[in-house]
Chain A
């Protein structure tokens, strides 16, 4: 078949007219078979839970395909920022302060009632996205090495823990909690962090700096460290399954607030599917699976917790006791604090 110059010209003209259509999306297109929802989330047990309680029902209902991009928060967040406006992700899971910043930066959407479970969300879980798990950070320690139980964040400075601390690396949720709680209990705050850096410096040398739960629990297993700052939920699971000597402290100043937040990206290609995904994540079966397998506390008030789980989770009454911070300042200061942390604490 030959194409004349005139036919070719028409083809080019037609392609030029049609091309912009490729860039236009329906704002709230109804899900259709074959749609591909892209969700950025952590791996391990979290992946298994969402595959069972979110992926399977969603794919069955719409005959769509859910693609999970597994990984740590930094990679996910950096990619979502790089793709702002035309995201390949529909949903990214972030932590409490990253989610708020991402929303302000126009990377992710504000949460709203289009997700039915939004009405049941706790106030703390309605900012920056849809909070899906309350997951506070506290001190964990080996009770055999403690002269007395830890009841305050200041106890980390007791001589018995000297050189036995695995301090959390910063930036990270645990690292931020360590810095901010230190500032708080020693008279500083988000705006006056010198005291925190000075106090933490006084604890050097550390047994180690921890940057993942796996690594930290291995350090406890092998006696590299005796005390650390970590998510209480996952640590409880570790204590029950592997380390009966581990204690999850309840400091009098409170545990640091932390939250896993599901955020729909601005311009998400599959808005409806994304909303439905989040509703499934906030549904009772999924919340209970998380509570059972990871001790993540539900963020919605229409979940009935079994009696055996209640004492191990954060109730809606206890949520008020969690220590929250000025997350805007935390976000704005991250580069500076990270730089200081590298020099003064890690270096």
Chain B
């Protein structure tokens, strides 16, 4: 039997049918509509993002100097020469890139079975599964890293399990690149799962049925049909995971034990410990170039692998018989194992966080259950310190989500419904906060601290958080706007509805799942943001992640687990509440 992929000129019919005409907004009366819709996002990023980036760029071309060396406008390549002349930095950049690639690979292998499993679930269970994937995102990166530590520690869960099974223990799971990789995969898996879920659930059923009726087994159907169809989602997921993993430093510091070095850690050390912002900036710019190059490579690879999206002929995929036989034999079992493993990786650290919040140990990182106590909850409510930070984070996350959705929605419409001069340039500019390592923005912010602290603390933090969340939400909303059925709007117009009525009665209700998805994404990203915020947070405005991160640098008590457990419970309740209004599985599906 010969298994073939797509017909030569296959194209995703359903998506094509619903896609609106791109030039529908063009017209003499609408000449300014595109720029006007794009203006809020552009202005916001110019003020809150471009300034620190320009500072970083300027600093990277400064000669060697102390912390107070005056800035010169005569560019110097000293810092870049120092980076490229020293094999240590080349090695660190290479190791970090390989680490990020490994995390991408692991995320892909783990995320596919889970995403397929969620797609295969009955409709009533899907929101629960999506909630399980989303919940880890609300737990701070420090706490999640601690959860991974508790998993991998010499007396952690894995070694306990090995002991129960009378297998030799693995005492060296922590403080190496492997541990960092596990931590990063755990942190970024949800994004990969959601990206894949989105495309997999929208795969045309008739194509899947056609494959099945042609005799393709379930595993073969995956390789021949679902995998190629999901490549756009895979591209988005891989790009995101690579960018985040290649610029990490918080998880790397905690799980790598300063033996596993990443470029982010070197930037952190140079700017904070050595007060060498010039060198740190140059290194951050090199990281940016690598990130942009990686994004381009991923984009080119994705384009080559999905010729049908550009109306180009696709080569048929033929799987040799032995491969088919092997796939059929192994994949059904392997996929089940991987689903369990992935759920375990996502949820076990959270379960450990929950258990540890009742553990009578003096220190957060101590593994092994020593006795039940409610002491950490009592301490949490008695001191109120974490709760203050929790409220700050919550208010900030809600405000960031609202502002982001307000700005991102017109931006998405300007991308999809209008064409105007410099539009591609502006669209590229909107994506820059993703491409640039967040630590680089932090370095720039540190230099602008005097200006920044002149702003009200909440406004300053809000400006930065919206910068972080905006590119993701524009992406989510762009897809949602693209999926709007314009015939409904035309029908409403024909029936006499003006633009405002069409907006409130047709467009916004249809767009509601997209708006909810963007809002949730913005809230999650804001709630866990620590990289830039730790450079900016002030005494009056300490967010929960920054407070936890700050304490982790000295001594962390299990109170952090108590507050994290409360957050998990609140998240689940919020998801349940949200589930009553919007189906979560629909929210993350276009």
A→B interface (CB under 8 Å): 36, 38-39, 42-47, 67-72, 74-75, 77-79, 81-84, 86, 88, 105, 169, 171, 208-215, 217-218, 221-224, 241-242, 334-335, 338-339, 342-343, 346-347
Contacts and interface: CB of A to CB of B under 8 A. Distances in A.
A217 B273 contact: no
B556 A44 contact: yes
B554 A44 contact: yes
B555 A38 contact: no
B257 A79 contact: no
Contact of B552 (A81, A208, A212, A241): A212
Contact of B550 (A71, A169, A218): A71
Given A36-B540, A81-B275, A223-B154, A338 B269 contact: yes
B449 A83 contact: yes
B367 A38 contact: no
Contacts of A45: 555
A78 B550 contact: no
Contact of A44 (B171, B266, B535, B557): B557
Contacts of B447: 82
B261 interface: yes
Contacts of A39: 539
B556 A221 contact: no
Interface of B: 67-68, 88, 91, 153-155, 171, 174-175, 253, 257-259, 261, 266, 269, 271-276, 362-367, 385, 446-447, 449-450, 453, 534-535, 537-540, 542, 546-547, 549-557
Per DSSP, chain A at the interface is: mixed
5 contacts: A46-B554, A74-B272, A82-B449, A212-B554, A213-B555
Contacts, number: 146
Contacts of A224: 154, 171, 174-175
Contacts of A74: 272-273
B153 A222 contact: yes
A23 B520 CA distance: 42
Contacts of B367: 218, 222
Contacts of A217: 363
Nearest to A171: B273
A105 B68 contact: yes
Contacts of A209: 175, 257-259
A99 to B, nearest CB: 14
B259 A221 contact: no
A258 to B, nearest CB: 15
Given A70-B550, A105-B68, A209-B258, A79 B446 contact: yes
Given A36-B540, A82-B450, A347-B88, A71 B553 contact: yes
Contact of A78 (B91, B154, B271, B554): B271
Q: Which of A45, A214, A334 has the most CB of B within 10 A?
A: A214
Contact of B555 (A211, A214, A223, A338): A214
Contact of B538 (A84, A88, A214): A88
Contacts of A67: 538-540
B554 A335 contact: no
Given A36-B540, A210-B257, A334-B274, 18 more contacts: A39-B539, A43-B554, A43-B555, A44-B557, A67-B540, A68-B539, A69-B542, A72-B554, A77-B272, A79-B535, A214-B556, A218-B363, A223-B171, A338-B273, A339-B88, A347-B88, A347-B91, A347-B261
B282 to A, nearest CB: 14
A105 B363 contact: no
B271 A211 contact: no
B554 A213 contact: yes
B203 to A, nearest CB: 46
A18 B275 CA distance: 37
A339 to B, nearest CB: 8
A342 B263 CA distance: 12
Nearest to A45: B555
Nearest to B174: A224
